[in-house]
Amino acid sequence: MRQQNARRGLWFFGIYLVLYIGFVLVNAFAPSLMERTPIAGLNVAILSGFGLILAAFLMAMVYGFICIDEDAADKREDKS
73 half-sphere exposure, CB direction, 13 A CA radius: 7
Computed on alpha carbons and rounded to an integer, the radius of gyration of the chain in Å comes to 18
Average pLDDT, the chain: 89
Any idea what DSSP says for residue 76? Answer: H
Is residue 23 a contact partner of residue 16, using CB atoms and an 8 Å limit? no
Taking the model in full, what pTM does it have?
A: 0.78
| Helices 2-29 and 44-79: angle between axes, nearest 10 degrees | 180
Annotated domain spans of the chain: 2-79
- C-alpha span between 5 and 33 (Å, rounded): 38
Question: Tens digits of per-residue pLDDT, 36-63?
Answer: 999 899 999 999 999 999 999 999 999 9
Q: Which amino acid is at 3?
A: Q
